[in-house]
Amino acid sequence: MDRTNWTAIEFILRGLSEYPKAEKLLFVMCLMMYLVILLGNSTLIILTLLDPRLHTPMYFFLGNLSFLDICYTSSFIPSMLIHFLSQEKTISFTGCVVQMSVSYTTGSTECVLLAVMAYDRYVAICNPLRYPIIMSKALCIQMAALCWGLGFRNSLTETILAIRLPFCGKNVINHFVCEILAFVKQACADISLNEIAIMLGNVIFLFSPLLLICISYIFILSTVLRISSAEGRKKAFSTCSAHLTVVTLFYGTILFMYMKPKSKDSAFDKLIALFYGVVTPMLNPIIYSLRNTEVLGALKKLMSRHWIWRKG
């Protein structure tokens, strides 16, 4: 396909256009959740930057996770909100590619980052005396850069393969957003190479990190069970509970989407995908703040400074 024709191509994001009242309700719900995502994750990033007590590897990676969630949701929620209230649900070829590539980059990066965070917890519990040496600042920066680099490379590969395809139909995507598999299925050419690449990407970036996470927690569990005091075991588990909850929520939703039988009601499938895309990033900062004395203490300190500044 000649690249000069890209500007003439548009995609129709069908969403729940057959349920206009449901779209109005979804607009209100998604807008509120998006504001919570921006507020919660931005607050976590600010706290990890400003409070010296949070200048640790765990909170460094948490700041990266919060930034990922902001980038991921901002790639599709604003345009999705507009489509909820509009009769015209079209998106340009360039807009669709940007939305698809950004969400794919951040999604791939988050998978690897969750595995890195599991390794951080493994070192903290299984090698506590060597933890500051192993998880040095330089290593943490390198590991974060590796996560972003792998995610970007995966997205770039899939995107280049996708935009080389010719599009000559109505290009109706039965989804709220430009999802890569739905995107390539609009092409009027053989997409077997794209499907193989997407499948390999899913195996590498979904199941390989999950395997590493499982291995890390097997070692963590083995170490914790050898701790003699109940208080020590409770303290060790508490340092992993937030990360384990986020991993369960993240992978649980993905595995449910992939493994459940195909529903006759496509609206249900779309809502499950929407839950994964919006609710999970909203819950991450809440999970990491709930019962976390360090984060709550940093938040109270920041609020008291703001209050003193306003009174002064």
Contact 203, 41 (CB under 8 A): no
Contact 46, 287 (CB under 8 A): no
In the chain, what are the helix, strand and coil shares in percent, each to the nearest 5? 80, 5, 20
Angle between helices 20-50 and 280-289 (to 10 degrees): 40
How far is the CA of 59 from the CAs of 45, 65, 137, 220, 242, in angstroms? 9, 9, 12, 19, 12
Tokens of 283: 């819950």
Q: What is the pLDDT of residue 3?
A: 46
Residue range 47-87, pLDDT digits in tens: 889 888 888 999 999 999 999 999 999 999 999 998 888 88
CB neighbour list of residue 278: distance below 8 Å, 6 or more residues apart = 30, 33, 34, 37, 73, 77
How does 272-307 read in b/e, with b if 16+ C-beta sit within 10 Å? Answer: ebbebbbbbbbbbbebbbeebebbeebbeeeeeeee
Residue range 260-301, pLDDT digits in tens: 666 555 677 777 778 878 888 998 888 887 667 777 777 777
Q: Which domains does the chain have, with CATH numbers?
A: 10-259+269-307 (1.20.1070.10)
Q: What is the pLDDT of residue 60?
A: 95
Residue type, 126: C
Averaged pLDDT score across all residues of the chain: 85
Cα 137 to Cα 60: distance, rounded to the nearest angstrom: 9
Residue range 196-230, pLDDT digits in tens: 998 898 889 988 999 999 999 999 999 988 888 88
Cα 205 to Cα 208: distance, rounded to the nearest angstrom: 6
Q: What is the pLDDT of residue 268?
A: 73
